[in-house]
Chain A
């Protein structure tokens, strides 16, 4: 079945440094809808970014990601980390079926 891999479980950064959270996926289907969700403590997870267009950069709230179907990747990036970016980030995949598959999550901690 489909799977999503987030290689880093924990990422700790100093404020102002760039952020890159890795996400790769595996599927037998040609359709690929990729998402990044963010989960702040004591809140509900919410959608940060999504894309289904190959090689097109998508941006929201200072974060950006580009879906690369050739490498099955959808890495999340930000040029400069802020303290308020500390949260749990989930990459997710859907092939246009009902089942949304999540990765294991990456906990990002930004320190002063």
Chain B
């Protein structure tokens, strides 16, 4: 089996700050995803990548940047943190688009 590791687990930032969330997977999966989880709004796709150096925007990409530096890693940057923003960011990966998606445990973001 494999694992998806997200760092940090908890992230506290200040309004306007640029914040970076990291994700590593050892499944050797081609496709990786970043989702934002908000209560009542489900999981909304921010960015995804189907291979190294590829980036595709999801439904919620505004205010975020992403980088797929290598096959095993996918990072997400909040370009300017919004005050009172609270959400959980989930990284995921899969072999292909229609196979099972595996998730990390998430990074919980709080902006003060």
- CB-based A-B contact count at 8 angstroms: 60
Q: Give the chain B neighbours of A83 by CB distance below 8 A.
A: none
Count how many chain A residues have C-beta atoms less than 8 Å from C-beta atoms of the other chain.
Answer: 28
- SS class of chain A's interface: helix, strand, loop or mixed? loop
Please report the C-alpha to C-alpha distance between residue A92 and residue B97 in the assembled complex, in whole angstroms. Answer: 12
Assuming the A-B contacts A94-B97, A98-B56, are A43 and B105 also in contact, with contact meaning beta carbons closer than 8 angstroms in the complex?
yes
- Interface pair A45/B90, CB less than 8 Å apart: yes
Question: Which of A6, A35, A90, A99 has the largest number of chain B CB atoms within 10 A?
Answer: A99
Count how many chain B residues have C-beta atoms less than 8 Å from C-beta atoms of the other chain.
Answer: 25
Is A64 engaged at the interface, CB distance under 8 Å to the other chain?
no
Question: Which of A1, A35, A43, A100 has the largest number of chain B CB atoms within 10 A?
Answer: A100
A-side interface residues toward B, CB under 8 Å?
1, 4, 6, 9, 33, 35, 37, 42-47, 50, 52, 90, 92, 94, 96-105
B-side interface residues toward A, CB under 8 Å?
4, 31, 33, 35, 40-45, 48, 50, 56, 58-59, 90, 97-98, 100-106
